Amino acid sequence: MNKMGSAFINGTGSYLPEKVLTNRDLEMMVDTSDEWITTRTGIKERRICPAGKCSSDLGYEASLKAIENSSINVEDIEMIICATITPDMYFPSKGCMIQKKLGLNNIPSFDISAACSGFIYGLEIARNFVENKKYKNILVVAAECMSRLTDYTDRNTCVLLGDGAGAAVVSYTEKENTGILGSYISSSGKYGKLLYVPAGGSLLPASFETVEKRLHFMKMEGPALFKIAVQTMTESVLAILKDFNLKKEDISLIVPHQANLRIISSVSKNLGIPLEKFFINIEKYGNMSAACVPVALDEAAREGRIKQGDLIVTVAFGAGLTWGANLIRWEK
């Protein structure tokens, strides 16, 4: 697939709130145990955004780090794409809020809602803009305060979720066949109610009744989601390999969405790719929705798990239902 230039990841950054909520803490809140949570999810702790702060604050901090780790300055950013399901408010967009905090003006900024797959979608959107030479530098940021959607009386969901943000600067390079090589993205709305927040939108506006029934918190059909997550994440990786005529052995690292360690292990088994080739940090942060992949990508880069020229696959699955993968040749 020859291209006139490429879109590459110029810098990554992440930000996690200081407050830690451990499994031991959750034992004091719901009928659960550290052993039960760890065995079923692989999660030991998660981060919680403090009162008075919001997801755009987390996104702003991650964005600053991504820009600092790139070859450009803040004023070189020409577009902001923000992946989120926990915006500060209905409108304006969180992308615009982050733009303001960065001191930028008169550039396109917008949100995309693809839940846990949001960063995957965001990279694909940025790649197309950059490869077509419409913009040279695009900030893709995913920031979530999942704790604000969490019912801490529901042990099946409250043990899973955490807060955090990750970002990447996507820039143009004249080098060909490097950077973000391509993506596979898809969705199936018929499964939407397997993972959703019932109230708060135009269907069920906030009311005394919706609050009383706890309809502003996330609802999840875990067993059904598990099966589809494994299937679609496996299919996404295989689709990328097929599109680029690659073998499994060609991939240096897979950076998956961190929803559940058993999901990642099952995908590894289905693909026949050793679990050691998957970057896993779920034990520290839990499920941060769209922020999982960029936070993991940033940590993998900082820990030396990714080297110049490595082929990397990012893959995710989320509410919608949405899923997808990016193929990246690491260029730094």
Number of domains present in the structure of the chain? 2
Q: Which residues contact 106 (CB under 8 A, 6 or more apart)?
A: none
Residue 168 belongs to what domain range? 6-176
The answer to whether residue 63 sits within a structural domain is yes
Which of residues 176, 209, 225 is at a domain's end? 176
Regarding whether 129 and 245 lie in a shared domain, the answer is no
In a domain, 248, yes or no: yes
- pLDDT value at position 2? 46
128 with 143, same domain: the answer is: yes
Choosing from 176, 191, 221, the residue where a domain stops is 176
Tokens of 178: 């490097």
Q: What pLDDT score was predicted for residue 3?
A: 55
Give a yes or no: residue 129 inside a domain. Answer: yes
Helix/strand/coil for 280 = coil
Last residue of a domain, one of 116, 148, 176: 176
Q: What is the CATH number of the domain that holds 202?
A: 3.40.47.10
The answer on 191 and 170 residing in a single domain is no
Strand pairing category for 79-83 and 137-145: parallel
Low-confidence residues of the chain: pLDDT under 70: 1-3
Of residues 49, 145, 257, 326, which has the active-site annotation?
257
pLDDT digits (tens, 9 = 90+) for 100-146: 999 999 999 999 999 999 999 999 999 999 999 999 999 999 999 99
* 1 belongs to a structural domain: no
- Does the annotation count 245 as an active-site position? no
The pair phi, psi for residue 203, each rounded to 5°, is: -75, -50
d(CA 310, CA 304): 11
Per DSSP, helices labelled H in the chain are 23-27, 34-41, 55-68, 94-101, 118-131, 155-158, 208-212, 222-243, 261-271, 282-285, 292-302
| Domain match, 27 and 167 both | yes
The pLDDT value given to residue 332: 77
69 is catalytic: no
Cα-only R_g, the chain:
19
Q: Is residue 22 part of a domain?
A: yes
Q: Return the residue matching tokens 């604050």.
A: 57
Kindly state whether residues 135 and 230 are assigned to the same domain.
no
Task: Give the C-alpha separation, 262 to 68, whole Å.
Answer: 35
Whether residue 234 is found in the same domain as residue 146: no
User: Do 71 and 147 lie in a common domain?
Assistant: yes
In this structure, the answer to whether residues 186 and 147 fall within a common structural domain is no
Do 150 and 130 lie in a common domain? yes
Do 318 and 185 have their domain in common?
A: yes
Q: Is 216 a catalytic residue?
A: no
Backbone torsions φ then ψ of 219, nearest 5 degrees: -115, 140
- Please indicate, yes or no, whether residues 83 and 208 belong to a single structural domain of this protein: no
Do both 194 and 313 map to the same domain?
Answer: yes
Q: What would the DSSP string read from start to end of 101-139? A: HTT--SS-EEEE--GGGHHHHHHHHHHHHHHTTS-SEEE
